[in-house]
Structures are given as C-alpha cells and as structure tokens.
Chain A
Amino acid sequence: MISAISTNLPVFIIIAPLFVAFVLPTLAKRKRLVENLVLSVEVLMLLGICYLASIVLFRKDIPIIYQMGGWPAPWGIELKVGSLGTFFLLTIAIVSLPVALFARGNLTHEVGGKERIARFYVLYLLLVGALAGMALTNDLFNVYVLVEVATLSCCGLVSARNHPRAAKATFTYLILATLGSCLVMGGIGFIYIITGHLNMEFASRELSIIWQNNPRVVWMAFSFMLVGFGVKSALFPLHVWLPDAHSVAPSPASAILSGLAVKGYIICLLKVLYNVFGQTLMQAYSVHKILVLVGMVAIIAGSISALTQKELKRRLAFSTVAQVGYIFLGFGLLNTRGLAGALFYLASHAVIKSTLFLSAAAMQTATGKKEIKDLSGIGRKMPITAAAFTVSSLGLTGIPLFSGFVGKWNLLQGSMESGSILPISVIIAGSVLCGAYLFPVIRIAYFETAPEKDWKDPNLPQKLALILLSAVIVVLGVVPGPFLELANRAAAELLVLR
C-alpha cells in the first residue's frame, strides 16, 4: 500500500486537487466541510511534495519518470519529477496553502454570499491541479491541455466577484488568453510537423538533428510560443489585461493569480525553450537576446507604471509586470547563475506578491478604501497586517536577509558573468524604483496620523496566513540553502547541451 502510494505520488499530486474539485459542488451547502476539505487537500499536497523534494534532493542521479497508464515514452504521457518540477511544486504548495487559509477567513465577504464559496474553491483547486501538472508534465500536448484548464479557471476566479468591472476584465482576459492558447497550440503544431513527436525529450532530440532543414518552421514555432506564453504571463507589451484582472479579482484569487498562475505559464515557456528547443537553437535564433531586452524594458516600464498608480492593488499588479521582467531577463542570460537566480526569484516573488496582495486585501477590507493615501496610520491599528506588508516590500525591494535579495543577487552575478553592464544597471534601477513605489505605502502606514476609526487586524486564519507567508520570506532569505540548491540543479540541468 505504502509503496503503491509512493510510486504513484507524482500523479496523485495532480489528481488529488482535480478530484476534490469535482466533488466539491455536491457538498456546496456545507461550508465548513468544503473549507476543511480544501485545506486538507492542500496539506496532503504539501506533504507529498516535501517527500518528493527530499527524494530528489538526496538522490542526485536520475529524475523519477512516471508513465501514465504504463505506456512508454513516445506513445504515452510522461510525468518527469526533476529538479525544476520539484522546485515549482514546492513553490505551489508553499503559496497555495496559506492563500487557502486566508480565503477561509474572508471569502464570504469577498465573493458576496455563502453559496458562491464552493464555486470559488472548485476553480481554485482546478488551477492548483493544473499548475502542478505544468510542473511535472513532459509532454507538449499535455502542456496545452493544462494551460487551457488553468486559463479557464483563472477567468472564473477573476469574475468570482459580482461586479461589472470584474465582468469586463474577465472578458478581456478571456479573449486575449484564448488567442494566446491558439498561438501556443500553433507552436506545438509546428514542432509536431517537423519532429513527429509530442514528448519533449524525443522532440528535442529530433529537432537538434533536423532543424537546419526547416529553419523557417522552427522560427514560426519560436514566435508563436513566445507570444502565446508571453501574453499569458504578462510580458511587457502584452500585459494589457493584467492590471484590470488582478486588481478586481477577489483578494485570495489575485494573490494566487499574481503569485502562481503567471509563474505556471513561465515554467511552461521555460520547459519549451530549454527542454525542447535547447540552448543551441536559442542562440542560433538569438531568442536569449529578445528575452533579456524584453525583460529590461518590462522592469523599467512596469515599475514606472506602478509608480503612477494611486490604487494599492493596481500598483501591486503593475509591480508583477516588472517582476516578471526580472524572470525573463534571467532566462535570457544563458548561464547557471542567472538561470538559478531567475528561478529563485520566481519562487520568492510568488511568496512575496501573494503576501502583498493578501495584506493589501486585509487593509482594504478594514478601511473600505482602495487608494494608498487612505491608509494613513494603519500600521498602528493593524500591526500584524502592516508588518507583513513591510516584510514583503523589503523582500521585493531586495534588502539582504529577505528572500528577494538572494534571487536578485544571483541574477546580478549571472549578468556579470554574461559580461554586459546594461542588465546590471537595470536590475539595480529596478530595485530602487521598487523601493520608490512600495516605501511610500509603509511611510503612510506608520508615520502619518490615523483617523479615529475602529480598524483591527483580520481574524485568526487570515493573520495566520500572513504570518506564515512572512516567515517563509525571512526563512528563504536567511537560509536559502536547499531551495537554492534545487534551483541551481534545475538550472544546470536545463543548460545541458544536447
């Protein structure tokens, strides 16, 4: 029994949330049961993922490969538990558990009515399951299916709040994301045309032999993939849907959307770029230059856009655009340090941005105001929320001893290794800009006098979630050890020349 579970663990991690998601609607009337079920699934996932991570960390040799239905590779679908997959799974588990905890505290208020809670959780679990699948899958068509599942559940999450703005944002998102999916599908099609394989490893092997016969098809595949995943992961000029969608969604949803959903597509793109096309092809088509360039533009433009926002949640949403730029920049550096830094930054941004969104949501719920200037003096009335916000802003800015620093530091070293000065200065400038748009909030929260109002810290589950996430930020900053090790190993594996 035990051995059956542990061999089937990879698929169990994906199936468990999906299965529970389909059971939930039948229990919709029993709110407590639904919430407990969701939390226990999350905890189970966390435990399973930790087990997998320990196996991957201590058994250094080969990745665990799981064949769906027992069909071997070129025919069946493969799940591959490598360093990259485990790394992203860990991120998913660490972020989604506290967010679910937070949702338990404030969801009734956010989505407007008890009966809607079960619907929200269905979408939430579908999204988590799809993301877990993205982390593990080794099959191109499977990637497409999971991307679709994730996209549709994201749309549902954005529209979970009953509001005309939410409907509009969802519609925009739906149209653009569907276009993106079409492009991804097209890209996969191009690869399939010339290689005849959907399994990533086989496709990659085939591609490295025959790409020179069909250079134009490869280049179409590259462009389709970049734009398709770019629009889903809010790469700079394609981010137009993000600020609306992330700022009107219910707060647990915006936390998970900004923190994890965007990252799932980034991981998919990373797999396609490095595992299917490989480093040689990227250099041949100078994709890495595009990535670095777009990343730098995204950092600067996103940060400046964030500076001009007056609403807190919109500011945070634009900040996501900027931070995604860092990750793309790291992907384009083509060295282990930079890639590992980008991966670590991806994880730390997932944690930090969800903390920011959750604490912003708690402040908004207490004050009933959206704008930053209305938060004066909130630091003394809601100490825990404001402390979580402060810790996470310090982390995002990249102050040492917080997790953002480790990522940014590795990125910096990666850019130094790649030898160009521009990315270094953009990273530092991005840090300064990040401080410029986040520190005023802290100043207003702590240094200005509060109006005579009865603002209080949120209830226990929400407080617990905030404390957990802040603790993760600090722990990752002080002892990044195993996490960074996983990121390093993943980066090294991705960069192996095929």
Chain B
Amino acid sequence: MILAILPVIPLIGVLFLLFKRGRFINIPLITSAVVLVFGVCGLQSVFEGIPLNYTVPLPGPVAPNFHADSLSAIFVLAAGFIWSVVSIYVPEYMEQEGRTKVFELCSLLTLSAVLGVFLAGDLFTLLLFFELMTVSSFFWVIHRGNKEAIRAGYFYLFYSIVGGLFLALGIVFMGTATDIMPIIGSGPVNPLNSKAFTWSIVLLIIGFGIKAGMVPLHLWLPHAHSVAPAPGSALLSGLLIKVGAYGLIRVGEFAGWGTYLQGGVSWLGSGLAVLGTCTMLVGVLAALVQSDAKRLLAYHSISQIGYIILGLGIGLYLGPDGGLGLIGSIYHIVNHTLFKAALFLGVGIIYIGTNETNLYKLGGLWRRFPLTALFMLIAVLGITGAPGLNGYASKTLLHHAVSHAAENGPQWIIWSERLFLLVGVGTATSFIKLYYLIFLGKPAKVKVNENKSFGMNLAMGLLAAVMIVIGFKPEIFASIAAAPAAQVLGMKNAAATLESLSFWNPSDVLSMIITLAIGGLTCWLGFRSGAFHWHIPAWLTLEGIGKLTGMSILFIWRRGAEWYGSIVATAGRASGNLRARLFKYFRRFDKSRSGNIGKINLTGISADAALLITVLMFLIVWYAFIVK
C-alpha cells in the first residue's frame, strides 16, 4: 500500500501548489519531506530482506504493479532527501530566475515520476513513469526560454523519446522472449527464446544508457544540464541520470547478478565495463577543456556515470565474486548524488551573485561567499575522492573490484584499471582548476549582487554534513544498505566480501593522496602551459564525427544519384536513338521536330520506360539462374 502512496504524495502536492495563495509555505519542501518520512517508516522492512509487493486493484488487463526491495528503497530515500534539500534552495534562487511556480510544479511531477520508476514492479509501469519523467523534466531544460535553452530542450527531448522508443521495443522483445512479462525483483530470467532475450537486453541497455548519459549516447547531456536553472541541473545530474543507472542494475538482474552469464548475454559484463571505461575517459577529457562551470560539471556527470557503469560491468563480469563492483556502484550512485547536487547548487549561488558562470571571468570569491566556498571545498574533495569524505569510500570499493578483476584477467581489464587511475587524476585536476578559478586566484572584476542566501547555504550545508558523516564512517552505509541490496539482487557473498575489506587501508589512502597530488601538479602545469584553453578539433568530438559521416554519406548518395541519373540518361539516349529512327517516320505528321511536345520532354519519359524494361530484363535473367 505504501508503495502506491509514495508516488501519489507529490501529485497531492501539485494540487496544493495550484491553489496556493500565500507565498510563505514551501509546498515542495513539505511534500518531499513527507515522502522522506513515509519512505523511512514504510520501507524499513525491506532492508531486512523482505521485499514489498503491491498491485493496484484495477479491473481490466492493465494493473500497475509496485515492488520495493532494498535497492529501490535506497533510490527512493536518496530522491526524497535530495528533493527536500533542493526545495530549501529553490525559493531564493528562483526569485532571480523567475517563474518559480512552473519550476516547482515540474519538479513535483518529476518527483512523482522518479518515485514511480524506482518502485515499479513491472516493466510497463516503469516505462509509464519513465516517459512522465522525461516530459516533466523537459520543462526544467527549457525554463530560461532563450534560444540556447530551446535548442538544448529539443535535443534532450529527441534523445529521450528515442530512448523511450528503445525501451518500449526492449520491453516488447522481453515479452516475446519470456511469454509472461518478468516481474522486477524476481531474479534472472529464464528465456524461452534466447535470441529475442539478447535483443531485448541490448535495446534496454541503449534505452537506459541514453538516460544515463553513457558514451556514445551522451551528446544531449552537457547541453541539457548546463542550460537548466541550478536546482534543475542539480536534480538532473544528481538524480535523473541515476534513473538510467537504476535501469541498468535491473537489466543486470534480468541477466543474473552473481552468476556467470551464459548464452546470448555472456558479453554483458565485459561490454558494460568497456562502455563504462570509455564513458569515464570521454567525460573527464572533455571536462578538462571546458571554460563554463556548469558544462564542466555536466561533463563530470558523464565521467562519474562511467565509474558506475564500469562497476556494474565488473560486477557482472566476475559473477559470484563481483559483489564489490555492485556495492561500489550503488555506493557511488548515492555519493555522486550528494556531491554533484552540492556542486551545482554552489555554482548556482555564484551565478545568482555574479551573473556569470565562465570560470575565467571569476576569481577570488571566497571573501564574498565564505560559507559557499567552504561547502564547495567539501564537495570538491568529495568528488575527487579525498580520504575522509564520501567519494573516497565508493572509489576505493570500485578500485578494489577493478584491480581484483585485473589480477589475472585479460589485457583490456588491466588497461581499464590504469585508465581508472588516470581518470582519478583528471578529476582531481579539473576540480582543482574549478575551485582555484572561482574562489582563489586573483579577485575578478565582477559586480557582486547582495542577495539573501541563507536558505541556499543551508541546503548546501545539509549536503556537506551528510558527506562528512559518510566520509568518516564509510562502512555504515555499505553494510546497512548497499550490501543487503546487492544480496537481494543475487550477490550471495557480498556482505562477506565487504566484512573482509578495510576502508582505511594505508595503501588505499596513500594512493588517493598521490592521485590528488598529481592532480594538483597537472593542474599547475595546465595553467602554465595554457592547455586548458585548447579547443578540441571538430573531427575529434562525437558530434563532429557524426556530422562528418552524415556529410560523407550524403556526398556518396548525391554522387550515386548522379551516376544513376547518368546511367538512366544513357539508357534513355540509347533507346532514344532507336526510337528516333522509328519516330522519324511518324514525326512527319507532327509539326514540332524536337523531342518536346508542348512543355513535356519525351527523352526523360523514354528513359524511365527504358529503366522499367531493364528491370524486367534483369528479373528474367535472375530466374534464368534459378530455374534449371
């Protein structure tokens, strides 16, 4: 029952919001707090390993199913928390942007949709809420209404609709493969038709991958996340792309967590790991050369999603021993939600204060925004994985998983471990650059508006506090939430592996510190050499490659059409000669001596007719080969 109530709460909030008169009640905050409280109370039992199920008693064939296990519960609670925090932030920020009510309305609708996705018990319900989420979050992207925002919004919508299409196809293929739609949370699927099952997995991965921003399907993400208002970006980057990650975990469940994958899906683990590595690398490389703070953060969302996908891939690849990969991914999802939201909110405060997000026009702002600077520092340290903060814990887990796989694995895993470390350095570099350029450095000549920013700083403070708590006691979250979730999904010995692992291993701490130090060094080198101002040539970016391929295909097509035309014309001429002789006699009765009758040119038509005869000839010849 509680499962069906949770997604409805925000809808009730929407009703209240529509009829609200006074401006002093923060309805989204109340709503999301209620969601959080209901979630904590109602979902307690699932952490003990008892999943909840609820089917809405509707007559007819379509009855939405709801299901909650500890994985969904983690996501639901994260959503509730992040929405409450952002709701504290919204009123003061939106005073500057305008149209607060529209934003709040969309954000409540999106909350409902997101909760629905996490609690959905079958794939159809999931798809329904997924599409609602796309549509309602689209209005965040176009909130500013300028040309750039509309363009990004169109981009976002196009990609999401295509993603939804892939999901729908995947679901239908799943139906063909299994006869009955698989219930979410029921473990590995035993396919009747393994070909259809493989296709279904591929399509589902593409569909969720678009939402998650997986390379090469990430092109919409930097545009959409950087033009939305800051709270919108925080939610998009913090939670909405995690919906894709959630979907990928569920896809892994259909294939089977904790088993060695066989048959048509045996490539799944290594495939995801390779995709994850590419995603990490592309995201961090692109982020290094950004000059806009929000675009930098958006590219880092891609990079961090890469960590998560890599973890999932390793988890599937290692089979029963892959517990650390899965736990690390779930852990990193939660952590990334916290620090990426905090970073976007912090940049939002700077934007409200200075009307600027270009890093090179900012500087020395720690004097004007001391609290923001402090919280941003915590968030930056969190995302770079500094020991004592939350990013450290999940990155360590992921690193353990990858190096375990690389111990006697094939060459590509060894490479992805090396790249893992490299991406860590890149992350450190770009965030040191971000922090230095905004808060340290020489003071910029920007006009700073005086705003009240108590609520905004409070929101960031809450996030920072949670990050610190997790950072100092990393094992708590892992053992009470992430490990049970992994175990419910099928990783039987996840908890045991976690027990044997110590978070404060000196070598891990040291390697993180070295990573940070190298990051600092490269950052300094980057500033000295001006490498951060390097513009990627168009042919190296995916968009450029797409454009080039498109152009070349078009070119080849045009050339082909020319040839085709000339062949037809030659055939026409040939038949024209024949015809000309015949027609010479008939033409004597005709007054005009040219190939035209009025405005109609006969040559073209005879060419077409010749084409028809050619096709006929071709067919007859074709049969001559078949009939003996």
Contact = CB atoms under 8 A, between A and B. Distances in A.
Interface of A: 164, 167-168, 171-172, 175-176, 179-180, 183, 215-216, 219-220, 222-224, 226-227, 230-231, 237-238, 240-241, 285-286, 290, 304, 308, 398-400, 409, 412-413, 416, 424, 428, 431-432, 435, 439, 443, 447
Nearest to A237: B615
A435 B605 CA distance: 33
A227 B600 contact: no
B574 interface: no
Nearest to B628: A215
A219 B612 contact: no
A306 to B, nearest CB: 12
Given A179-B612, A219-B627, A231-B612, A447 B599 contact: no
Contact of A416 (B196, B557, B611, B615): B196
B125 to A, nearest CB: 15
A409 B172 contact: yes
Nearest to B599: A164
Given A219-B620, A227-B615, A231-B612, A285 B154 contact: no
Contacts of A435: 162
Contact of A176 (B161, B609, B626, B627): B609
Contacts of A224: 616
A290 B616 CA distance: 13
A175 B599 contact: no
B623 A222 contact: yes
Contact of B195 (A172, A222, A416, A432): A416
Contacts of A308: 554, 557
Interface in B167-225: 168-169, 172, 176, 195-196, 199
Contacts of A304: 557
A331 to B, nearest CB: 16
Contacts of A172: 604-605, 608
Contacts of A168: 599-601
B586 interface: no
B598 interface: yes
Contacts of A237: 611, 615
Nearest to B624: A219
Nearest to A178: B609
26 contacts: A167-B600, A168-B600, A168-B601, A215-B627, A219-B620, A219-B624, A223-B616, A223-B619, A223-B623, A227-B612, A227-B615, A227-B619, A230-B615, A237-B611, A238-B611, A240-B608, A285-B623, A290-B622, A308-B554, A399-B161, A400-B165, A412-B169, A431-B165, A439-B158, A443-B154, A447-B154
B42 to A, nearest CB: 32
A240 B606 CA distance: 12
Contacts of A220: 620
B13 to A, nearest CB: 28
B609 A175 contact: yes
A428 B169 CA distance: 10
A237 B158 CA distance: 32
Interface in B100-154: 150, 154
Given A216-B627, A409-B172, A240 B600 contact: no
Interface of B: 150, 154, 158, 161-162, 165, 168-169, 172, 176, 195-196, 199, 554, 557, 598-601, 604-605, 608-609, 611-612, 615-616, 619-620, 622-624, 626-627
A196 to B, nearest CB: 22
Contact of B620 (A215, A223, A231): A223
Contact of B626 (A286, A399, A412): A286
B574 to A, nearest CB: 17
B609 A285 contact: no
Given A435-B162, A447-B154, A167 B612 contact: no
A285 B196 contact: no
B334 to A, nearest CB: 33
9 closest pairs, A vs B, by CB? A223-B619, A219-B623, A227-B616, A215-B627, A240-B608, A400-B168, A223-B620, A171-B600, A164-B599
Contacts of B615: 227, 230, 237-238
Contacts of B624: 219
Contacts of A409: 172
Contacts of A424: 199
A260 B176 CA distance: 33
Contacts of A230: 615
Contacts of B196: 416
Contacts of B608: 172, 175-176, 240-241
Nearest to A286: B626
Contacts of B162: 432, 435
Contacts of B199: 424
A175 B601 CA distance: 12
Nearest to B193: A416
Contacts of A285: 623, 626-627
Nearest to B558: A308
Contacts of B627: 215-216, 219, 285
Contacts of B620: 219-220, 223
Contacts of A286: 626
A175 B165 contact: no
B219 to A, nearest CB: 15
B240 to A, nearest CB: 22
A172 B616 CA distance: 19
B623 A167 contact: no
B622 A413 contact: no
Nearest to A183: B616
A314 B195 CA distance: 39
A167 B596 CA distance: 13
Contacts of A412: 169
A443 B620 CA distance: 47
- For A237, A285, A399, A431, the residue with the greatest tally of chain B CB atoms inside 10 Å of its CB is A237
A416 B598 CA distance: 53
